[in-house]
Amino acid sequence: MSTTATRISFLQILRGEVLKTRRTRGLLLAIIGPLVVTMLVFGFHAENPPDVPQEMSPWKNFIRYVFQFFMLLYPLFAALIAFMLSNIEHKNRGFKYIFALPASKGAFYFSKVFVLLGWLALSLGLSYVFIFIFGELLSVVLPNFAFAENSIPAETVLFLFRMFTILISIVAIHFFLSLYFDNFIIGVGSAVFLMIFGGVAANHRLAYLIPYTYPMDAYMGFMTGEIQAFDKRTLISLIYGVVFFVAGFWLVSRKNIK
């Protein structure tokens, strides 16, 4: 009498992916990255305290330095975690094993997409927590900063949310590149080149079509107070995300796993 293997649900696969990847450097980087950046800005402020209590809110100045780092580093972080996640399966022919299990290829692939986006959301969420903690700590250590007497600007949350939506495109592009090439230089090094290209093209009339100009645009919106949660760049970023994530699934599904 033949038996049929029990199908594995998407939630079971997702749980397995979380367990498998939480011990990788990608998850550690998602936590340590914003922590180190915020500590550096904290140290800079601690070495340059004001002589008298400030009348203006110190939060925006503090966050401005943090977000300058984020604008440059998060696109590279997005490319790096995409490479780390794809590299797990490249090593030891992991796709051969997981595609032999009783579940759809799409469930396995898109569980990895969920993990990627989860890492990104966790990192950006923690960055807000770190900003608040170190700002309050400055207020205790150096009361002239007057962090406690002021509130974090509302556009801080908008910037972090916007960074998440615009980084979806960059994560998707570099996840696809990492799946295709299995090469660190191409998967991550290309992000450095494209960020430089984005900086050069930032003022071009078609810059809204280039995802690597989006972090700078978000930062400028934060500084002017005109940042928006959704605009045409958000929509285009999501379109890029859908296209490249689907292309990545097509690529993986056609791999020779025999």
Q: Print pLDDT tens along the chain (258 aa).
A: 444 557 777 777 777 777 777 666 777 888 888 999 999 999 988 887 666 555 567 888 889 999 999 998 999 998 888 888 877 766 656 666 666 666 677 778 888 899 899 989 999 999 999 999 998 888 888 777 777 777 888 899 999 999 999 999 999 999 999 888 877 888 888 888 999 998 888 888 888 899 999 999 999 999 888 888 888 999 999 999 999 999 998 888 776 655
In this predicted structure, what is the pLDDT of residue 93? 62
CB 210 within 8 A of CB 151: no
CB of 54 closer than 8 Å to CB of 146: yes
Domain range for 159 is 10-253
CB 8 within 8 A of CB 103: yes
Return all residues near 81 (Cβ < 8 A) that are at least 6 apart.
Answer: 26, 29, 30, 116, 119, 120, 171
Angle of the 155-181 helix axis to the 232-253 helix axis, nearest 10: 30
2 part of a folded domain: no
> In the structure encoding, which two tokens stand for residue 28, read together?
């550690």
Backbone angles phi, psi at 24, to 5 degrees: -85, 170
3 located within any domain:
no
Which residues lie below 8 Å from residue 79, measured CB to CB, with a gap of 6+? 170, 171, 174, 187, 188, 190, 191
C-alpha atoms less than 13 angstroms from C-alpha of 246 in its C-beta half-sphere: 6
Dihedral through CA 14, CA 256, CA 185, CA 78, nearest 10? -20
Let me know the angle formed at the C-alpha of 155 by 172 and 72, rounded to the nearest 5 degrees.
45
133 located within any domain: yes
Q: Exposed (0-12), middle (13-18) or buried (19+): which is 115, by Cβ within 10 Å?
A: buried
In a domain, 202, yes or no: yes
Has residue 197 been placed in a domain? Answer: yes
- Tally of domains in the chain: 1
In a domain, 95, yes or no: yes
Residue 111 within a domain: yes
* 170 lies in some domain: yes
